[in-house]
Chains A and B, each alone.
Chain A
Amino acid sequence: MTTDDLPRIEARGVTKIFAGVPALDDVDLTLYPGEVVGLLGENGAGKSTLIKVLAGVYIPEHGELRVRGEKVHFTQPIDALARGIATVHQHSSLADNLTVAQNLILGREPGLSWLPFWIRQKAILAKARQITERFGIDLPLTTLVDDLTVAQKQRVEIVRAASEADTMIILDEPTAALNPDEVDELFALIGTLKAQDIPVLYVSHRLDEIPRICTRVEVLRDGRNVGGLDREDSVPAKIIPLLVGRQLGNLFPDLPTVSEQVVLKAEQVSGTLLKDVSLTVHGGEIVGLTGTIGAGQRDFARIVFGADPGAGTIELLGTRLPQGRPDLAVKAGVGYVSGDRKKDGLFPILPVWRNATVVKSDALATAGILIPARERRVGVELIQQFDVRTSSPNKEIGELSGGNQQKALLARWAAVTPKLLILDEPTLGVDVGARREIYDQIVALAESGMAVLLVSADHAELQGMSHRVLVFTDGEVVAEMAGHDATEEAILHARIRTDRKAAS
């Protein structure tokens, strides 16, 4: 290639600070034409911040961006797109009610030369066909996007991105929702882009994919570049030491003592995704459940609570729990802090105190009659006990920070002293200070004999907060290890081992 020495995109010394904490600290990134660069890092390492800086979503405090050698300042996403940088997100951004062809040229519809607002479907189809032919990719142009599979939608998005952005394409976790065959198709498509000289920034946490597709990798940790590896060296064994290396410090309290008593006994629990998972949890025990998104750990937790329907037997202290009945599970003594507090945890417009008492309130009522002042008093006590920081207990909970919201949700369940508490990503979006407080509360609750299921993708949290860790892949438990052995490395290896097995 003639332009090989001129980088398509070059980021130098990029620094982005949130609330005084640098999310990116002096980060460099360079992409040449025809490269596929893997961008790796743990959660919170700065991957998504870097992508957002490149896509014009965030404006960095320091550093410069050059596109084809020319210095640029992006202040909004449209600036990046105008310079030919397109991002394909994990979630579809297509219009489901339109056809593939209409989506491919959305916003660029060809009008008649003498009547520019007059759009003909034939012209749309012809223009869409030009695009697919240019990339040599077959797409069902006249099909409604709504009728496509997830993988097909993604292909449409990538082709659309490629047709409007010839500087660089960012693929954010593109394989998260794909099965192995679909991954192969995706890689073929990336190969086509590569042949067209369009560089691809490939963000992923699936280390086993990296050597298959990337020409080299860049690793971020704590907002800094910690190293780059060439294709030959881009193997998990060399990547993992770069990814890990964080000190656990004293973020975690001592774990509670485990009693003899069996609190949860789940046998052959199955669901739409889950296959025959069995698990026994004792009083005071914290069991971590992990895996990639959609590997089944969350499904297991939700089925145990009855939030989703499932099959199998689930016993709490020897009594069988009915399926799909969260109300009965709560009565029996199961608590559930959901993984998406905005979607199904909080009552955003209700006051903080009411969010804390919503489960306890049933017990506070006498013959169905509930005095608000009494309920509020209990709510205020809970808020104080769990150190929820709010200017007033009457404030709408939606206005609090993530950490304080999470503390209020923990208080909601602690108020009824459950026998089993299911925590799904309890510290997602929670700052470090509040994290420790949440961990302390969890341990204090478990000390009194409560069993805990901890669904988490945070390796440090799993290691520091669980007695045992179960690793899920494709709806099955593929490994079980002691909490202190559950290093990121060990979990990754467990996952990759089974991926390989499945592939062969």
Chain B
Amino acid sequence: MSTTSTTPAAPTQKATKADTAVPRQSLSKLAPMLKRNGLLIFFALLLVVFTIARPEFLSQANIRNILLSASVIGILALGQTVVILTGGFDIGIAKTAVVAGMVVALTAGMGPVAMVIGVAATIVIGLVNGILISRTKVNPFIVTLGMYTILTSVALLANDGGSVINLPPWLLGLVSWQFLSMPGIVWWFAIIAVITHLALAYTRWGGHIYAVGGNEEAARLAGIKSSNVLASAYVVAAVVGGMAGVMLTSRLGTASPVALPAAELDSIAAVVIGGTKLSGGFGSIPRTIVGILILMALQSGLVLMGVNPYYQGMFKGAILILAVAVDVIFGKKK
């Protein structure tokens, strides 16, 4: 298989299984093949169904639309993937984005140095999460839920409950460009995705994230500083999440303290639909990207088919549960 060398760690493991399979037994080969590529097959099926129902689904305008809507939540999901790979999650990631957006908007008058302040703010948030979770062993759900609640307050306090408007041109210019007729924010999503993917699949740190997620104590006894790796995951998630907030602010031309409602849950949904295991140690950025695209394609397809938008939640929720159920039911080899 030619794809082997370019795919990341975890998918490599799946992809090359075909090398060792006995070729003749086509039927018994089909099941593992389905299991391996089920996600992509499902995505392709979704595209085919929507395209048949509504040919304009695959129009350039609609693809652009899907990618645009996938970008901000998508960046959140990238950060979320890193912590989920360690076996935790970050409930406060969307609020981190909102706070980062507010901080950058409020300090934007100082010029691009505002970005440094924004990143510093997210590093502090990530460090608090990471240190509490890795040193005190308080459950990640509790720590990040607490952080979520605190940040909700912080966002409101930042500008006395109001949105920040009249942003300087440099901030608006972050995403106001186009390239190959794709909006800047989509490219930012792509760039951040490539960087996080490379970091996870091609660095020592990435390997350690998988090891800590697979078995934290074994990682410690293999000479890995497990608690530092764990803490770093929350810092990376907060910084990446913060970027989503800045991108959103730039795109909307305003920073709202109540932006991105329930986006943290959508980000977890995207990661899970992508097949990354909540227990940690298995998953990847490409999976998360397919996950977010499935969610957004579904949303767009339903709109195009004229389905009452009130039904959207039902479909999204059903697919989330289905994705995990299929994994659990067919994932066990015994």
For B12, B219, B223, B224, the residue with the greatest tally of chain A CB atoms inside 10 Å of its CB is: B223
Asked if B63 CB lies within 8 Å of chain A CBs, one says: no
Which chain A positions have C-beta within 8 A of B201? 372
Which chain B positions have C-beta within 8 A of A392? 16-17, 19-20
Which chain B positions have C-beta within 8 A of A412? 222
Q: Which of A331, A344, A369, A394 contacts B218 (CB 8 A)?
A: A344
For the complex formed, measure the closest distance between the CB of B30 and the CB atoms of chain A, giving whole angstroms. 18
Q: Which of B9, B14, B16, B20 contacts A354 (CB 8 A)?
A: B9
Segment with Cβ contacts to A, from B122-130, B134-142, B203-211, B243-251:
B203-211
Which chain B positions have C-beta within 8 A of A327? 220, 223-225
For the A-B complex, the count of residue pairs with Cβ-Cβ distances under 8 Å equals: 97
Q: Known contacts being A373-B5, A391-B20, is A351 close to B222, with CB within 8 Å? A: no
Asked if B315 CB lies within 8 Å of chain A CBs, one says: no
Which residues of B in the span 1-37 have a Cβ within 8 Å of any Cβ on A? 4-5, 8-9, 12-14, 16-17, 19-20
Contact indicator per residue, chain A 313-328, by CB within 8 Å of chain B (1) or not (0): 0000000000000110
Asked if A402 CB lies within 8 Å of chain B CBs, one says: no
Chain B interface secondary structure, helix, strand, loop or mixed? helix
Segment with Cβ contacts to B, from A96-104, A204-212, A356-364, A432-440:
A356-364
Q: Which of A330, A348, A376 contacts B222 (CB 8 A)?
A: A330
For B204, B206, B222, the residue with the greatest tally of chain A CB atoms inside 10 Å of its CB is: B222
In the complex, the answer to whether A371 meets B221 with C-beta atoms within 8 Å is: no
Task: Identify 14 new A-B residue pairs, CB closer than 8 A, beyond the known A344-B220, A348-B215, A370-B203.
Answer: A326-B222, A338-B221, A346-B215, A346-B218, A347-B211, A349-B277, A350-B211, A354-B9, A361-B204, A370-B202, A392-B17, A394-B14, A394-B17, A394-B20
In the complex, the answer to whether B13 meets A351 with C-beta atoms within 8 Å is: yes
Asked if B281 CB lies within 8 Å of chain A CBs, one says: yes
Which chain A positions have C-beta within 8 A of B215? 344, 346-348
Asked if A368 CB lies within 8 Å of chain B CBs, one says: yes
In the complex, the answer to whether B221 meets A326 with C-beta atoms within 8 Å is: yes
Between-chain CB contacts (< 8 Å), 19 pairs:
A326-B221, A326-B222, A326-B223, A327-B220, A327-B223, A331-B223, A343-B217, A345-B218, A347-B215, A358-B219, A358-B224, A368-B204, A370-B204, A375-B207, A391-B20, A392-B17, A392-B19, A394-B12, A394-B16
Which chain A positions have C-beta within 8 A of B14? 394
Which chain A positions have C-beta within 8 A of B225? 327
Which B residues form the contact surface with A (CB < 8 A)? 4-5, 8-9, 12-14, 16-17, 19-20, 201-207, 210-211, 214-215, 217-225, 277, 281-282, 333
Which chain B positions have C-beta within 8 A of A354? 9, 207, 210
Asked if A329 CB lies within 8 Å of chain B CBs, one says: yes
A360 nearest CB neighbor, chain B only: B222
Q: Known contacts being A326-B220, A330-B223, A368-B203, is A358 close to B12, with CB within 8 Å? A: no
Which chain A positions have C-beta within 8 A of B221? 305, 307, 326, 336, 338, 344-345
Q: How far is the CA of A181 from the CA of B318 in the complex (A)?
A: 60
Q: Which of A347, A359, A373 contacts B223 (CB 8 A)?
A: A359
A397 nearest CB neighbor, chain B only: B214
Which chain A positions have C-beta within 8 A of B218? 338, 344-347
Which chain B positions have C-beta within 8 A of A348? 214-215
Q: Known contacts being A326-B223, A331-B223, A338-B221, is A376 close to B12, with CB within 8 Å? A: yes
Tally A residues with Cβ within 8 Å of B: 38
Q: Known contacts being A326-B223, A327-B225, is A349 close to B282, with CB within 8 Å? A: yes
Which chain A positions have C-beta within 8 A of B214? 347-350
Asked if A365 CB lies within 8 Å of chain B CBs, one says: yes
In the complex, the answer to whether B210 meets A372 with C-beta atoms within 8 Å is: no
Q: How far is the CA of A369 from the CA of B199 in the complex (A)?
A: 8
Contact indicator per residue, chain A 329-341, by CB within 8 Å of chain B (1) or not (0): 1110000101000
Asked if A399 CB lies within 8 Å of chain B CBs, one says: yes
Q: Which of B12, B16, B207 contacts A361 (CB 8 A)?
A: B207
Which chain A positions have C-beta within 8 A of B217? 343-344
For the complex formed, measure the closest distance between the CB of B16 and the CB atoms of chain A, giving whole angstroms. 5
Q: Known contacts being A344-B215, A348-B215, is A370 close to B207, with CB within 8 Å? A: yes
In the complex, the answer to whether A371 meets B202 with C-beta atoms within 8 Å is: yes
In the complex, the answer to whether B13 meets A394 with C-beta atoms within 8 Å is: yes
For A358, A376, A391, A396, the residue with the greatest tally of chain B CB atoms inside 10 Å of its CB is: A358
Which chain A positions have C-beta within 8 A of B206? 370
Which chain A positions have C-beta within 8 A of B4? 373
Q: How far is the CA of A372 from the CA of B19 in the complex (A)?
A: 17
Q: How far is the CA of A412 from the CA of B281 in the complex (A)?
A: 19
For A343, A347, A369, the residue with the greatest tally of chain B CB atoms inside 10 Å of its CB is: A347
For the complex formed, measure the closest distance between the CB of A302 and the CB atoms of chain B, giving whole angstroms. 9
Q: How far is the CA of A307 from the CA of B5 in the complex (A)?
A: 36
Q: How far is the CA of A369 from the CA of B202 in the complex (A)?
A: 6
Q: How far is the CA of A350 from the CA of B280 in the complex (A)?
A: 11
Which chain A positions have C-beta within 8 A of B9? 354, 372
A362 nearest CB neighbor, chain B only: B204
Q: How far is the CA of A449 from the CA of B10 in the complex (A)?
A: 37
Which chain B positions have C-beta within 8 A of A349? 214, 277, 281-282
Which chain B positions have C-beta within 8 A of A361? 204, 207
A329 nearest CB neighbor, chain B only: B223
Q: How far is the CA of A361 from the CA of B206 in the complex (A)?
A: 11
Contact indicator per residue, chain A 387-409, by CB within 8 Å of chain B (1) or not (0): 00001101010010000000000
A353 nearest CB neighbor, chain B only: B13
For A305, A369, A372, the residue with the greatest tally of chain B CB atoms inside 10 Å of its CB is: A372
B277 nearest CB neighbor, chain A only: A349
The 10 closest A-B pairs by CB, nearest first: A330-B223, A347-B214, A344-B217, A365-B204, A392-B20, A394-B13, A351-B13, A327-B223, A347-B215, A344-B218
Which chain B positions have C-beta within 8 A of A345? 218, 221
Which chain B positions have C-beta within 8 A of A326? 220-223
For the complex formed, measure the closest distance between the CB of A309 and the CB atoms of chain B, giving whole angstroms. 13
Which chain B positions have C-beta within 8 A of A358? 207, 211, 219, 222, 224
Q: How far is the CA of A351 from the CA of B17 in the complex (A)?
A: 11
B7 nearest CB neighbor, chain A only: A372
Which chain A positions have C-beta within 8 A of B16? 392, 394
Which chain A positions have C-beta within 8 A of B281? 347, 349-350
In the complex, the answer to whether B333 meets A399 with C-beta atoms within 8 Å is: yes
B333 nearest CB neighbor, chain A only: A399
